[in-house]
Structure 1
């Protein structure tokens, strides 16, 4: 499955129980789950939370393969920290490897905990972005009282992401028309690497030029840093309250069971 910004945005505009929740409720749920995942130190508790998130994914009618692929695309950026913990953290030695490397029990447990927390956090963020359009997330942040500077920066970032993606697609199509293939092993690796460098440089230059053009256009239409963005009014309904109460209740029950030694 080819995942792009357009694919993510199309997925977020579908209809389901989770898609129809108010954006503010979805943001609050995201913060609650992430904070609890960082707080807890029990792997079984984290497993139960991941199962709850998967249940929400099924309710939102999102493909599990799509959901898993998005997580796997981001996981390596933080997963390497967890992978190296068994070699770095002091403790009881489980295995001794060549070159003086040792794997400790405490390192394995701590690495598994970090990896589990990371998966929970990524699952929550991927779920949020899969059921909420990007513009709706920014509007929800404004309604929740986030600083308007942050909301404005995110709003501009969203617009430039699509512009950036379009420019990248144009460059890639131009390269394909000239029979360029980065995975073609018949051409020199250094030459391919140089072409990738040229592509990155071209994207940067085009993005800079477009950004400057758009900014001056905004100034010409009266934009100032004090500009107020339009927020679509929406009401929080019973379903929104039910979902947030259900999530909080599940977290409280899991924590009570954990404290009493049931799990």
Structure 2
């Protein structure tokens, strides 16, 4: 949860990238991810990664913090890429005990997969570091995301921090009663029971809060036909320039891809 707070803090900074329309950033991020997944040239992916890191630098986002987030997320996809040299058939370049072997084709594919994941994750980090969660939901609604899904996302974002505060209150109450889940001298079954009680309390409080919020929405005229309010903003000249630059870059990479390969 502290990471979410830090991410939101980064979105409050001022830079040319922060000032772009959220719809533009969403669409460009989607285009970059689709292109990165579709390409099979590591050099092209390296150029895209350098470009994204440059945007992070321009956006005044802490580069070390962005790299730290990248390193924390990469293992989830990098774990799959790590096994490719051992399971993909091809020309064997190393043979070890227990029948383990590394193939050239597997090594190349693993490196390519890791590069694609790196570019995609970097694009998402840039988007989340320069656009607040509320703005992301509003921008998604304006580009055609279904209204019901947008409302659910909006409510999730709005009350995410609230339930974190509720969890902290429960944990502080447990600490005052000398409960420590990591205390090895505490019986394991008793610790499991307390964790289960904590989860049950969170469900009950979530249900109660949901009832209060729903009744409050009804008292303000909410109905199944209601739609979430979204701020209407126009695409500025800077947004158009940013779109043009990114389209030109992707087109140029597409044209030079055969030569780079």
TM-score tier, shorter chain, comes to: 0.7 to 0.9
Deviations 1:232-263 (Å, cap 9, x if unpaired)? Answer: 121211111111111111122222222234x6
Any stretches of 5+ residues in structure 1 without a counterpart? none
Secondary structure of 2:231's aligned partner: coil
**CA–CA separation in structure 2 for the residues paired with 1:188 and 1:48:** 54
Specify whether residues 244 and 189 from structure 1 end up closer, same or farther in structure 2 by C-alpha distance, changes over 3 A only.
farther
Deviations 1:124-178 (Å, cap 9, x if unpaired)? Answer: 1111111111111111122212222221221122123222322233234334445
Tell me the TM-score normalized by structure 1.
0.87
Secondary structure of 1:58's aligned partner: helix
Deviations 1:204-236 (Å, cap 9, x if unpaired)? Answer: 443333234323432343322221222212121
Secondary structure of 1:120's aligned partner: helix
Any stretches of 5+ residues in structure 2 without a counterpart? none
Tell me the TM-score normalized by structure 2.
0.87
Secondary structure of 1:4's aligned partner: helix
Aligned length: 261
Structure 1 residue 198: Cα displacement = 4.7
Deviations 1:13-61 (Å, cap 9, x if unpaired)? Answer: 2111100001111111111101111110111111110110001101110
Secondary structure of 2:10's aligned partner: helix
Q: Confirm or deny that 1:239 pairs with 2:238.
A: yes
Q: Confirm or deny that 1:89 pairs with 2:105.
A: no
Structural RMSD (CA): 2.5
Secondary structure of 2:93's aligned partner: strand
- The farther-off stretch of 174-183 and 46-55 is 174-183
Specify whether residues 136 and 88 from structure 1 end up closer, same or farther in structure 2 by C-alpha distance, changes over 3 A only.
same
Equivalent in the alignment of 2:51: 52
Whether the aligned pair in 1 keeps the contact of 2:23 and 2:139 (CA below 8 Å) is yes
**CA–CA separation in structure 1 for the residues paired with 2:77 and 2:189:** 28
- The farther-off stretch of 183-192 and 159-168 is 183-192
